[in-house]
Amino acid sequence: MTSKTRVLLGVTGGIAAYKSPDLVRRLIERGADVQVVMTSSAQRFVSPMTFQAVSGRPTRSDLWDGTAEAAMGHIELARWAQIVLIAPASADFIARLAAGRADDLLCTLCLATEAPIMLAPAMNRVMWANKATQANVGTLAARGIRLLGPASGNQACGEVGAGRMWEPVQLAESVLAAPPNAGLLAGLNVLITAGPTRERLDPVRYLTNRSSGKMGFAVAEAAREAGAHVTVVTGPVQLQTPMGVTRINVESARDMYAAVHRQVGDADIFIAAAAVADFQPVAVAKQKIKKQGGSVKLELEPAPDIIKSVADMAKRPFVVGFAAETNDVEENARIKLKRKRLDMIAANEVGDGIAFDCEDNALTVIWPGGKLEVSRGPKLDVARELIALIAKRLPPRDDSPRRGARKRRTSAGVPRDRVRGRRPRRV
């Protein structure tokens, strides 16, 4: 992170709160500007004056603070923060945050902020292992909230186990560490498709596939970490949108085709990670198709080929495809790369227990004249390797005819290419 990263430190009620003043100092040593917000329970362990002394800012705790800007302190703080860190995060606070409560200043600003939220849990080992706590933690993780810890060791209650808050130095270093691939795609617009499509047969049935959308959303998160402006066009999935990513929901292949072509004119990179239907019904029944004892024949036609339509554009972005194959993975991917005129393709084997409905993946990434194997790992880690490779393979940031980059105006009227550091086109 750059100097003066604005960190909002939330302190909740727990004996580990005694470490939080030192955490403030460690964050400031690493170039952060820290604003502390305490819950009422936290004030029973550490004085607000202690935090004011080490942070140089008045400690905030009151949702009804009339001296706050326009008496809307939670909005003021939510917009100020670039990072929200809760340390310690008690079992009670985790439960209230998972439930979406807004009954104190800290919970309310967590709902109102667009900044990434990180939690450093601290509690008794049995409380941490309790199914309710683990369910709440799972809910928050699914929403994109990052967990830092807990560690294992001796606890204030005299027991030993998981539940200790990370030490201040470890927390400060983790919070202020640059994200993976930071700056590699700075200022670029990345358009990504994700998830399955649904092709309606009648009012209650549809054709679809097993894609969960997790890989596409991981790619979106990795691209955002790399500094890109990211839009994801997704079919029906049950996933939390990564922080800072614009989401467009669609249902069918036709819907996805239309949404992509509304957005692709501004894209520098197009990554087609969605499992788009290859075929769609010729006609959709207006009423439910009844079982009549015999077989039913479905007449299908090719669905729109979204990635080929983008690759065929006269002014096209850098185009990356995905190939989900059950056999001859590399051979089929190379055929698709050439036939659809892609810049790069990421191929993976799919099937029972592989890729679909899984938390991990492995890719064979192929481009004209090259190949790289990305070993199996969590999908976000795999996505980060893919984004790093895309950044490496991108043509120079100029207005080359192949990429068809166009000068787009910023709100200030300055050519966006110049904002990105591109050289203006010669005339």
List, by residue number, the catalytic residues. Answer: 157
Reduced DSSP (H G I as helix, E B as strand, rest coil) percent helix, strand, coil of the chain, to 5: 35, 25, 40
Whole-angstrom distance, CA of residue 144 vs CA of residue 76: 22
**Collapsing DSSP states into helix, strand and coil, what is residue 94?**
helix
Cβ proximity of 118 and 85 under 8 Å: yes
**Collapsing DSSP states into helix, strand and coil, what is residue 276?**
coil
Q: Which residues of 26-53 are buried (b: 16+ CB within 10 A; e: fewer)?
A: bbbebebbbbbbbbebbbebbebebbee
What would the two tokens of residue 182 be?
């930071």
Question: Which residue in 295, 289, 300, 348 sits closest to 322, CA to CA?
Answer: 348
- Output the CA torsion 14→16→19→24 (10° steps): -50
Contacts of residue 403, defined as CB under 8 A and 6 or more positions apart, other chains included, come to: 268, 315, 316, 317, 318, 395
Cβ proximity of 5 and 32 under 8 Å: yes
**Collapsing DSSP states into helix, strand and coil, what is residue 337?**
helix
Whole-angstrom distance, CA of residue 149 vs CA of residue 351: 34
Question: Which residue in 120, 91, 104, 136 sits closest to 37, CA to CA?
Answer: 104
- Output the CA torsion 25→26→30→33 (10° steps): -40
Question: Which residue in 201, 262, 265 sits closest to 403, CA to CA?
Answer: 265
Residue ranges of E strands in 368-416: 370-378
Contacts of residue 385, defined as CB under 8 A and 6 or more positions apart, other chains included, come to: 363, 374
Whole-angstrom distance, CA of residue 227 vs CA of residue 43: 38
Query: Which region holds residue 284: left if phi is over 0, alpha if psi is between -120 and 50, else beta?
Result: beta
Crossing angle for the helix pair 168-176 and 20-29, to the nearest 10 degrees = 40
Question: Which residue in 71, 65, 35, 39 sits closest to 52, CA to CA?
Answer: 35
